Amino acid sequence: MKQVFRVPAIFCIFILLAGCATTQQDTITQYSFIDAILAGAYDGQEKCSKILEHGDMGIGTFDGLDGEMVVLDRQIYQVKYDGSVVTPGPEETTPFACVAEFLPDKAVNIIPGTDLKGLMHVTDLAVPNQNIFLAVKATGTFSMMLTRSVPEQTKPYPPLVEVTKNQSQFHMKNVKGTVVGFRTPPYAKGIGVPGYHLHFLSDDKTQGGHILGLTFEQGAVEIDLCNRFVLINPKDESGLKDMDFSKDRTHELEQAEKKHE
């Protein structure tokens, strides 16, 4: 009898290990790093179809900084400068994207009236340890949602702080949708946006962008604690060539990623 039970047990362990290996749980995969984008490294380095192998949710941008990327339910959406939302073809490329296979560890209801700072606070209370990477997904109805997108750039590429001076902003009211993004620990400064970097997509897939502000009418946030971070840089030797990443770009980051009129 013993022999009969032993074989299935070993088989089950094998299946479990195989499952972990393919789904990449608790792993954030990022193409390029935020300082490269701040410096103007906007050339696409990977096909959009490829990044979906590493995650079903996430954020990013497109070749030439052509709008804001939202990855939701393993579908990529492109929020263009004019505010329209399209689904890019599989051959489209990205210079910066950050994705994860979302499997929430925690969920917290959001009190009506909670703003962007409040959402960050609620998430921080759920996971106070700032040294852990988080993938975050919040769904709900928003009495206010403020997002932005950026215009496609031509070479020579200007730094992001110059581009965002001409960003378009989208003021939405009473919109249903999903917030997706990440919390990056302070020690990963230069790689990601320390703190929260969040994008939005409406349920009807017609509005979205990089979030500058919001107010919840009702909703909830789900949190996935991630203990692995994979950084993929251009393999081509010309990628990032002659770019100086020794300087601190904290001020530029504040201007480019968080500022709105």
Contact residues for Zn ion, defined by CB under 5 A: 210
Closest CA to 145 of 219, 39, 76, 36: 219
In angstroms, give the least distance from the CB of 5 to Zn ion: 52
Which residue lies nearer to Zn ion by CB, 93 or 167?
167
Taking CA 169 as the corner, what is the angle to CA 254 and CA 192, rounded to the nearest 5 degrees? 35
CB-wise, 158 or 218, nearer to Zn ion? Answer: 158
The nearer residue to Zn ion, 34 or 223, going by C-beta atoms, is: 34
**Beta-strand (E) ranges in the chain?**
27-31, 46-47, 57-61, 68-72, 75-79, 85-86, 93-94, 97-100, 106-110, 133-149, 168-184, 195-202, 208-226, 228-232
Residue 252, Ramachandran bin (φ over 0: left; ψ between -120 and 50: alpha; else beta)? alpha
Least separation in angstroms between CB 70 and Zn ion: 9
CB of 258 to Zn ion, least distance (A): 10
Residue 54 or residue 210: which is nearer to Zn ion going by CB?
210
Q: Which lies closer to Zn ion via its Cβ, residue 45 or residue 149?
A: 149
Q: Contact at 8 Å (CB) between 178 and 200?
A: yes
Among all residues, whose Cβ is closest to Zn ion? 210
CB of 113 to Zn ion, least distance (A): 25
Please state the closest distance from residue 142 (CB atom) to Zn ion, in A: 17
Between the alpha carbon of residue 152 and those of residues 50, 69, 75, 77, 107, the distances in Å are 22, 13, 21, 16, 36
